[in-house]
Amino acid sequence: MPKKKIYFSYSWEEKENKKWIIRLKNDLSNEGLEIIFDQDELDKGTINIDRFISDNMNDADFIIIVITPSYINKSNIKNDGNGNRKRSWVEIENDYIIKRKHNNSKSLIPIIMKKKESNLPDNISGLTYYDMSNENLYKEELQKIRNIIHSEKVKTDIPLITREHPISNLIENIDILFNYQDNPPQVSAVVQYGEASLYLEQNQVLSLFIMVSKNNTCKTEDTSDTKVLSTEYFALPIRQNQYTEVLIKIEQGVNEYLKRVINYEALFEVDKFELLDESYSYKLLSVQRSYWNMLISVANQFDWDNGKTEWNIFQRNNYYIHVFSPIISYNKRYNSGEHAIYRVKKNEDINNDIVDIYVSVRDIIGFSQIEISERKSWGIRKAYNWLKEEFIPFVCLKKNLIVNDVIYRDFCKSEEDVFSQMQYFYMCSKAYVNYDEIIILRNALCFCLRKQYPKEDFNYIISKLGLSGINLQREPFEISESVIENLYNDKFISKIEKNHNNCSLADDILRCIKVFTDDLSRYKLNDFEMSYIIRISNSLIEKMHKVEMLEKYKDKKY
């Protein structure tokens, strides 16, 4: 089982602080905890302050805040916005502490080392604190802190459900509790069988969500009194009389998680971009490595170079581009602060030395003051626009190059006809299609056939639907009526599986609908007609979007 991580936030200013904090650190280290202590890293001489604070405060299970007069003074300093003063470690840490207070206040442990008129800084006022300001109180309060830390279960305290370790001794009283985190959205769950608790990590929960959203629950393994929800990761036995209740709870979990995903994608502007590997990083463009080196070289020439552009490149290096606007600047388009950090990773194309340029959500969240907008910290869409429309053209002008020659691939997805999306989705059998949904698609196709008479595509439609006895020599409107009559007769209805998957039939009908929805089709419906068939097909569209969004974030780690 991994150790719980404890981060120390404190002020070095009083000389005796360090010795006292090391004592507390050692007392807690003996508890089998992993203590994140900046002095240990400083002694190695390799610390990057911003990265150290961002990574470790985000990863910590608990943050211990050692309160002294100097800590309170630093913590209560208001940002004057002029950017001329270097912020202290305490001020930078406070950005993360405020966020943690709103999301998980129980993980903050304020400790009074030295008393002042005001015991707590403004940003954590109202929290329970531990008074260790004299030796008589130290041991008693230390034990309370130990109890708090060890009473909070981390996920691996609870056994993980796996196929190799199936659930035995099934107890009828089952419940599922979902736990959520935001930005980026994450979910885990605890399955309770009576007194027993079993843990589901994110990939396992999402596999359950995907199965339910696909309507694949008919794949459950049934015994006389038990249903088994079976996923790639685990098998979850449920009593027949509790099955519907559990299914409703899972569906509620799906909706809550997707609500958070939608909010996250809107905030960070990521919906049109591909994820990179297993991280919450998004690919923008790919370029030849030589061009990336050229972009880095030009970026380094604008390190704090005010007035030459409407943005500035911050932190000269050979690895990434950090766009930043300082306070003292002629910049009128962008507010002062950090905008975006661009990094690269080798592309999967083994035949060319291509790199993918990406932006990581971890970097955006790591900015000292994150407020995503056109003028402040940039979301993924804005970062993409700046790179493609401002910086690369700026470099190409300087180097006498053509923009399209520099950009090898663009990862921003273009809008696609929703029926083309559905046709591909259901062709791949990514979700079950029931009887009622086939009827919906049939009705949509019949509406199309009444609005347009696709003379050149009748043969294609009849062939796809397996219809027979239709005279193609008749007038187009008569052929349309014949096709519609066939779609409503018993022979066609008998093709629909009432309790099984109809993906193949859905694929055929959607291919026929595309005759009326493709942009290049001469029989394309008008906007009003398109909105109607989209509206009546909404249940299938929503199912597709649900499954695609869940699959997008499955196997992703933050």
Question: How confident is the model over 184-218, as pLDDT tens digits?
Answer: 888 888 887 766 777 888 888 999 999 899 876 54
What is the reported pLDDT for 216?
A: 65
CB distance 509 to 441 below 8 Å: yes
Above 60 in pLDDT, residue 152?
Answer: no
Mean pLDDT of all residues in 208-230:
72
Average of per-residue pLDDT values in the chain: 81
Which residue, 230, 237, 183, is CA-closest to 210?
230
* Residues contacting residue 350 through CB under 8 Å, at least 6 positions apart: none
424 by Cβ neighbours in 10 Å (0-12 / 13-18 / 19+) ranks as middle
Q: Which of 12-21, 169-178, 226-235 has the lowest mean pLDDT?
A: 169-178
What's the pLDDT band for 274 if we cut at 50, 70, 90? confident
What is the reported pLDDT for 160?
A: 54
Above 50 in pLDDT, residue 80?
Answer: no
Q: Which of 32-46, 179-193, 291-305, 442-456 has the lowest mean pLDDT?
A: 32-46
Above 50 in pLDDT, residue 70?
Answer: yes
Mean pLDDT of all residues in 91-100:
73
Which residue, 13, 137, 25, 134, is CA-closest to 69?
13
Above 60 in pLDDT, residue 102?
Answer: no
List beta partners, residue 438. none
Tell how far CA 447 is from the center of its chain: 38
What is the reported pLDDT for 382?
A: 92
Above 80 in pLDDT, residue 170?
Answer: no
Q: What is the pLDDT of residues 293-340, one digit of tens each?
A: 999 988 888 765 555 666 777 667 778 888 887 666 666 777 777 788
CATH class label, 4-151? alpha beta
- Backbone Cα Rg of the chain: 30
* 3 state SS of 65: strand
What's the pLDDT band for 219 if we cut at 50, 70, 90? very low
Above 80 in pLDDT, residue 91?
Answer: no
Above 50 in pLDDT, residue 81?
Answer: no
Percent of the chain with pLDDT over 90: 32
CB distance 113 to 133 below 8 Å: yes
Q: 12 vs 131, which has greater pLDDT? A: 131
What is the reported pLDDT for 410?
A: 93
pTM here is 0.65
Relative orientation angle of helices 202-213 and 240-268, to the nearest 10 degrees: 110
CB distance 180 to 104 below 8 Å: no
The Cα 190–Cα 19 span in angstroms is 41
What is the reported pLDDT for 154?
A: 40
* 3 state SS of 270: coil
Q: What is the pLDDT of residues 375-429, one digit of tens each?
A: 788 899 999 999 999 999 999 999 999 999 999 999 998 877 899 999 999 988 7
Task: List the beta strands (DSSP E) in 138-206.
Answer: 174-181, 186-193, 196-200
10 by Cβ neighbours in 10 Å (0-12 / 13-18 / 19+) ranks as buried
For the chain, what are the domain ranges?
A: 4-151, 174-268, 274-410, 418-553
What is the reported pLDDT for 153?
A: 43
Q: 475 vs 429, which has greater pLDDT? A: 475
Above 90 in pLDDT, residue 47?
Answer: no
Percent of the chain with pLDDT over 70: 80
Q: What is the pLDDT of residues 236-261, one digit of tens each?
A: 778 888 888 889 999 999 999 999 99
Q: Which of 2-6, 239-243, 525-529, 543-547 has the lowest mean pLDDT?
A: 2-6
What is the reported pLDDT for 175?
A: 82
Q: What is the pLDDT of residues 327-384, one digit of tens each?
A: 666 667 777 777 888 999 888 777 778 999 999 888 887 665 667 877 788 899 999 9
